[in-house]
Amino acid sequence: MGADERGVTRRYGRRLQQVGAGLFLLGLLVGLAVPRFALPRLALSTHLLGLMQGLFLLVAGGLWPRLRLSAALSRVGHVAAVVGCVAAWVANLAGALWGAGSTMVPLAAGGVRGTALQEGVIKLLLLSAAPCLIATAGLLLWGLRGSPESE
């Protein structure tokens, strides 16, 4: 990996950490207001998801410069990580605010159903997040291949 590629992966790692810190902060703020949401149980899920995915992005960002990925895979992976974490969090937040989400998160939504548009937005966001996060986890595992001596 050349110096330019290392700089790019470092920037991507830093961006992941910035988004992760922001998501962690948003998760904390949602936690302060859980009882005020239309669906407090889904708000609690949103709070915990913000904390967990914020930490995930902080850790992924710290690892990112050490991964053995091409510049293109690094770019795709960092976008997938951000999209996956943010889309899942926004979907849960929207459901908690709207009082919707039983289509995709029936346990957290408690069977409460929103309008077709609201349920569709939540579904689209969650169905977008899942493959992004799975791809990110796969790239993290793939990028950690080999021995540490080869760095």
Count CA atoms closer than 13 A to 117's CA, side-chain side.
1
CA quadruple 148, 60, 17, 67: dihedral, nearest 10? 40
CA quadruple 48, 54, 59, 61: dihedral, nearest 10? 160
Q: What is the pLDDT of residue 102?
A: 87
For 3, counting Cβ atoms within 10 Å of its Cβ (0-12 exposed, 13-18 middle, 19+ buried), the class is exposed
pLDDT in tens, 108-150: 878 888 999 999 999 999 999 999 999 999 999 999 997 665 5
pLDDT in tens, 73-110: 999 999 999 999 999 999 999 999 999 998 888 888 78
The domain spans of the chain are 3-144
pTM: 0.91
Is there a contact between 91 and 125 (Cβ–Cβ < 8 Å)? yes
